[in-house]
Amino acid sequence: MPAYQLASREYQQEDTVIELKTCRIGSGQVVIIAGPCAVESEEQMLGLASTLKEMGVHILRGGAFKPRTSPYSFRGLGEEGLRILARARELTGLPVVTEITDVRNLDMVLKYADILQIGSRNMQNFDLLREVGRVHRPVLLKRGLAATIEEWLLAAEYILAEGNRNVILCERGIRTYETYTRNTLDISAIPAIKELSHLPVIADPSHGTGRRSLVAPVARAAVAAGADGLMLEVHPCPEEALSDGPQSLLPAQLEHLLAELRPMAESLGRRLSGSI
Amino acid sequence: MPAYQLASREYQQEDTVIELKTCRIGSGQVVIIAGPCAVESEEQMLGLASTLKEMGVHILRGGAFKPRTSPYSFRGLGEEGLRILARARELTGLPVVTEITDVRNLDMVLKYADILQIGSRNMQNFDLLREVGRVHRPVLLKRGLAATIEEWLLAAEYILAEGNRNVILCERGIRTYETYTRNTLDISAIPAIKELSHLPVIADPSHGTGRRSLVAPVARAAVAAGADGLMLEVHPCPEEALSDGPQSLLPAQLEHLLAELRPMAESLGRRLSGSI
Amino acid sequence: MPAYQLASREYQQEDTVIELKTCRIGSGQVVIIAGPCAVESEEQMLGLASTLKEMGVHILRGGAFKPRTSPYSFRGLGEEGLRILARARELTGLPVVTEITDVRNLDMVLKYADILQIGSRNMQNFDLLREVGRVHRPVLLKRGLAATIEEWLLAAEYILAEGNRNVILCERGIRTYETYTRNTLDISAIPAIKELSHLPVIADPSHGTGRRSLVAPVARAAVAAGADGLMLEVHPCPEEALSDGPQSLLPAQLEHLLAELRPMAESLGRRLSGSI
Amino acid sequence: MPAYQLASREYQQEDTVIELKTCRIGSGQVVIIAGPCAVESEEQMLGLASTLKEMGVHILRGGAFKPRTSPYSFRGLGEEGLRILARARELTGLPVVTEITDVRNLDMVLKYADILQIGSRNMQNFDLLREVGRVHRPVLLKRGLAATIEEWLLAAEYILAEGNRNVILCERGIRTYETYTRNTLDISAIPAIKELSHLPVIADPSHGTGRRSLVAPVARAAVAAGADGLMLEVHPCPEEALSDGPQSLLPAQLEHLLAELRPMAESLGRRLSGSI
Q: Does B180 touch chain C (CB under 8 A)?
A: no
Residue from the list B186, B190, B214 with its beta carbon closest to the beta carbon of D184: B186
Beta-bridge partner residues of D97: D61, D115
At A161-205, the pLDDT tens digits run: 999 999 999 999 999 999 999 999 999 999 999 999 999 999 999
Q: Does C180 touch chain B (CB under 8 A)?
A: no
Give me the mean pLDDT over the C66-86 stretch.
96
Do the domain assignments include residue C212? yes
- Cross-chain residue pair C175–B179, CB shorter than 8 Å: no
Q: Is the pLDDT of residue B274 over 70?
A: no
Q: Is the pLDDT of residue B84 over 50?
A: yes
Amino acid, res. C131: E
- Cross-chain residue pair B176–C177, CB shorter than 8 Å: yes
Phi/psi for B118 (5° steps) reads: -105, 120
Residue B162 CB neighbours (<10 A): 16
Number of B–D residue contacts, CB under 8 Å: 121
Q: Which residue of A has its CA nearest to B157?
A: A71
- The model's confidence at residue D75, banded by pLDDT at 50, 70 and 90, is very high
Segment 198-257 of chain C within 8 Å of chain A by CB: 208-209, 213-214, 217-218, 220-226
Q: What percent of chain C has pLDDT over 90?
A: 96
Q: Is the pLDDT of residue D273 over 90?
A: no
Q: What chains are in contact with B, requiring at least 3 Cβ pairs below 8 Å?
A: A, C, D
At B179-223, the pLDDT tens digits run: 999 999 999 999 999 999 999 999 999 999 999 999 999 999 999
Q: Is the pLDDT of residue B275 over 60?
A: no
ipTM score = 0.97
Domains: count for chain A? 1
CB contacts of A177 in chain C (<8 Å) are: 146, 148, 174
Do the domain assignments include residue B256? yes
Average the pLDDT over each of A242-246, C272-276, D48-52 and give the range with the smallest value: C272-276
- Cross-chain residue pair B217–D184, CB shorter than 8 Å: no
The answer to pTM > 0.95 is: yes
Q: Does A134 touch chain B (CB under 8 A)?
A: no
Q: Does A127 touch chain B (CB under 8 A)?
A: yes
Q: Does A185 touch chain C (CB under 8 A)?
A: yes
Do the domain assignments include residue C107? yes
For chain A, the average pLDDT equals 97
Least Cα distance to D139 among D167, D107, D111 occurs for D167
State the best of D4, D65, D68, D70 to mutate against chain C, taking most chain C CBs within 10 Å. Answer: D70
Q: What chains are in contact with D, requiring at least 3 Cβ pairs below 8 Å?
A: A, B, C
CB contacts of C208 in chain A (<8 Å) are: 188
**Nearest chain B Cα distance for residue D180, angstroms:** 7
b/e map D90-126, b = 16+ CB within 10 Å:
eebebbbbbbbbbbebbebbeebbbbbbbbbbbbbbb
CB contacts of A195 in chain C (<8 Å) are: 213-214
Q: What is the pLDDT of residue B276?
A: 45
Q: Is the pLDDT of residue D107 over 50?
A: yes
At C30-55, the pLDDT tens digits run: 999 999 999 999 999 999 999 999 99
Q: Is the pLDDT of residue B43 over 70?
A: yes
Q: What is the pLDDT of residue C276?
A: 44
Q: Does A177 touch chain D (CB under 8 A)?
A: yes
Task: Give CA–CA dist D89/C107, Å, rounded.
Answer: 38
- Cross-chain residue pair B223–D225, CB shorter than 8 Å: no
- Cross-chain residue pair D101–C127, CB shorter than 8 Å: yes
Beta-bridge partner residues of A207: none
Residue A237: CB partners within 8 Å, gap ≥ 6?
none
- Cross-chain residue pair A146–B101, CB shorter than 8 Å: no
Give me the mean pLDDT over the A46-51 stretch.
98
Q: What is the pLDDT of residue B131?
A: 98
Q: Is the pLDDT of residue A139 over 80?
A: yes
- Cross-chain residue pair D71–C151, CB shorter than 8 Å: no
Beta-bridge partner residues of B229: B31
Q: Which residue of B has its CA nearest to D180?
A: B149
> What DSSP string describes chain B?
--SS-TTBTTT--SPP-EE-SS-EETSS--EEEEE-SB---HHHHHHHHHHHHHHT--EEE-BSS---SSTTS----THHHHHHHHHHHHHH---EEEE---GGGHHHHHHH-SEEEE-GGGTT-HHHHHHHHTS-S-EEEEPPTT--HHHHHHHHHHHHHTT---EEEEE--B--S--SSSSB-BTTHHHHHHHHBSS-EEE-HHHHH--HHHHHHHHHHHHHTT-SEEEEEB-SSGGG-SS-GGGPBPHHHHHHHHHHHHHHHHHTT--SSS--
- Cross-chain residue pair B127–A157, CB shorter than 8 Å: no
Q: Is the pLDDT of residue D16 over 90?
A: yes
Rg of chain A over Cα atoms, rounded to whole angstroms, equals 17
Classify residue C245 as exposed, middle or buried by CB count within 10 Å of its CB (0-12, 13-18, 19+). middle
Q: Is the pLDDT of residue C84 over 50?
A: yes
Q: What is the pLDDT of residue A276?
A: 44
CB contacts of D100 in chain C (<8 Å) are: none
Residue from the list A218, A224, A226 with its beta carbon closest to the beta carbon of C188: A218
- Cross-chain residue pair D102–C71, CB shorter than 8 Å: no
Task: Give CA–CA dist A99/A106, Å, rounded.
Answer: 10
Domain boundaries, position D226: 18-267
Q: What is the pLDDT of residue C273?
A: 83
- The model's confidence at residue A273, banded by pLDDT at 50, 70 and 90, is confident
Q: Which residue of C has its CA nearest to B176?
A: C177
At D190-246, the pLDDT tens digits run: 999 999 999 999 999 999 999 999 999 999 999 999 999 999 999 999 999 998 899
Do the domain assignments include residue A4? no
At A78-128, the pLDDT tens digits run: 999 999 999 999 999 999 999 999 999 999 999 999 999 999 999 999 999
Q: What is the pLDDT of residue B99?
A: 98
- Cross-chain residue pair C71–D154, CB shorter than 8 Å: yes
Do the domain assignments include residue C275? no
**Nearest chain B Cα distance for residue D209, angstroms:** 7
For chain C, the average pLDDT equals 97
Give me the mean pLDDT over the C221-240 stretch.
96
Q: Does C134 touch chain D (CB under 8 A)?
A: no
Q: What percent of chain D has pLDDT over 90?
A: 96
CB contacts of C183 in chain B (<8 Å) are: none
Give me the mean pLDDT over the D141-168 stretch.
98
Segment 47-106 of chain A within 8 Å of chain D by CB: none
Do the domain assignments include residue A235? yes
Q: Beta strand B96-99 with B115-118: parallel, antiparallel or unpaired?
A: parallel
Residue C241 CB neighbours (<10 A): 20
Do the domain assignments include residue A183? yes
Least Cα distance to A31 among A51, A57, A52 occurs for A57
Q: Does B176 touch chain C (CB under 8 A)?
A: yes
CB contacts of B224 in chain D (<8 Å) are: 217, 220-221, 223-224, 264
Give me the mean pLDDT over the A36-63 stretch.
97
Q: Is the pLDDT of residue A159 over 70?
A: yes
State the best of B153, B188, B190, B230 to mutate against chain D, taking most chain D CBs within 10 Å. Answer: B188
Q: What is the pLDDT of residue A274?
A: 60
Question: How many CA atoms lie less than 13 Å away from D59 in the CB half-sphere?
Answer: 30
Number of B–C residue contacts, CB under 8 Å: 6
Residue from the list C188, C208, C213 with its beta carbon closest to the beta carbon of A181: C188
CATH code of the domain containing D235: 3.20.20.70
Number of A–C residue contacts, CB under 8 Å: 123
CB contacts of A124 in chain B (<8 Å) are: 67, 69, 121
Residue C273 in contact with residue C258, Cβ under 8 Å?
no
Q: What is the pLDDT of residue D274?
A: 60
Give me the mean pLDDT over the D63-92 stretch.
97
- The model's confidence at residue D275, banded by pLDDT at 50, 70 and 90, is very low
- DSSP letter assigned to residue A199: S
**Nearest chain B Cα distance for residue C208, angstroms:** 15
Task: Give CA–CA dist D21/B171, Å, rounded.
Answer: 40
Q: What is the pLDDT of residue D276?
A: 44
Write out the E strands in A189-246: 201-203, 229-233
- Cross-chain residue pair C103–D101, CB shorter than 8 Å: no
Do the domain assignments include residue B4? no
- Cross-chain residue pair D67–C126, CB shorter than 8 Å: yes
CB contacts of A161 in chain B (<8 Å) are: 71-72
Residue B43: CB partners within 8 Å, gap ≥ 6?
none
What CA–CA distances, in Å, run from B46 to B60, B96, B235, B246, C92?
A: 11, 13, 12, 22, 78
Q: What is the pLDDT of residue C274?
A: 60
